Amino acid sequence: MAKPVPVSEQLEATAGGMDAAKGIAAARAALAKAQRPLVGRKASEVKPAPVNEHVVQPKAPARTEPGAQPARGKKQHAVAANAKAPARPRAKAKASLAPAGPGVVGIDPHKRTLTATVLDWRGGNLGTRAFPVSEEGHQAMEAWALGFGPVGRWGVEGASGVGRHTAAYLAAQGHDVRDVCPNRTNERRRARQGAKSDAEDSLRIAREVLANPGTPAAFKRTDGSAGPDEGTELLGIWHNARRWNRNTTRVLLNRAESLLYALPEQVRSALPDTSDVRARLHALVKLTEPAGLDAPAALRVRLLRSMAAQVDALDAQEREATRELARLTKEAGSTLDELCGISTRSAAELLVQSGDPRRFADEGSFARFNGTAPLAASSAEGDDEPKRHRLNRGGNRHINAVLHRMAVTQLRCDPRAQHLFESVRKRGHTKAEARRVLKRHLSNVVYRRMMADLERKTATGSSTSKKGAVNARARAA
244 with 174, same domain? no
Per the rule left: phi > 0, alpha: psi between -120 and 50, beta: everything else, 157 is beta
Domain stops at, among 228, 244, 279: 228
pLDDT of 65 reads 47
**Numbers of helices and strands, H then E, in the chain:** 16, 7
| Residue 62 forms part of a structural domain | no
pLDDT digits (tens, 9 = 90+) for 256-306: 999 999 999 989 999 999 999 999 999 999 988 777 889 999 999 999 999
344 with 445, same domain? yes
The CA-atom distances, in angstroms, between 172 and each of 115, 138, 287, 440 are 20, 12, 59, 37
Give how many domains the chain has, as a whole number: 4
| Residue 84 forms part of a structural domain | no
How large a percentage of the chain has pLDDT more than 70?
Answer: 74
pLDDT digits (tens, 9 = 90+) for 381-437: 777 777 788 899 999 999 999 999 999 999 999 999 999 999 999 999 999 999 999
For the entire predicted model, the pTM comes to: 0.71
pLDDT of 64 reads 47
Domain hosting residue 223, numbered range: 103-228
368 with 446, same domain? yes
- State yes or no: pLDDT of 472 exceeds 70: no
Q: Which residue has the higher pLDDT, 471 or 97?
A: 471
**Among candidate residues 85, 59, 83, the one with its CA nearest the CA of residue 72:** 59
344 with 447, same domain? yes
257 with 151, same domain? no
C-beta pairs of 125-128 under 8 Å, 24+ apart in sequence: 125/203, 128/199, 128/202, 128/203
352 with 431, same domain? yes
Q: What is the DSSP string of 220-269?
A: G-SSTTS---HHHHHHHHHHHHHHHHHHHHHHHHHHHHHHHHTS-HHHHT
Beta-bridge partners for 104: 119, 153
| Residue 141 forms part of a structural domain | yes
pLDDT of 31 reads 47
| Residue 306 forms part of a structural domain | yes
| Residue 357 forms part of a structural domain | yes
Domain stops at, among 209, 228, 247: 228
369 with 406, same domain? yes
Domain stops at, among 228, 261, 280: 228
147 with 243, same domain? no
pLDDT of 53 reads 44
User: HSE on the CB side for 7, CA within 13 Å?
Assistant: 15
349 with 300, same domain? no
Average pLDDT over residues 125-151: 96
| Residue 32 forms part of a structural domain | yes
Average pLDDT over residues 217-238: 90
Q: Are 371 and 394 in contact (CB under 8 A)?
A: yes
pLDDT digits (tens, 9 = 90+) for 165-196: 999 999 999 999 999 988 877 655 565 666 78
Give the separation between CA 287 and CA 284, rounded to whole angstroms.
Answer: 5
- State yes or no: pLDDT of 132 exceeds 80: yes
pLDDT digits (tens, 9 = 90+) for 309-330: 999 999 999 999 999 999 999 9
202 with 295, same domain? no
Give the separation between CA 380 and CA 52, rounded to whole angstroms.
Answer: 52
Q: Are 454 and 447 in contact (CB under 8 A)?
A: no
| Residue 272 forms part of a structural domain | yes
pLDDT of 278 reads 95
249 with 195, same domain? no
pLDDT digits (tens, 9 = 90+) for 327-347: 999 999 999 999 999 999 999
| Residue 384 forms part of a structural domain | no
CATH of the domain at 214: 3.30.420.10
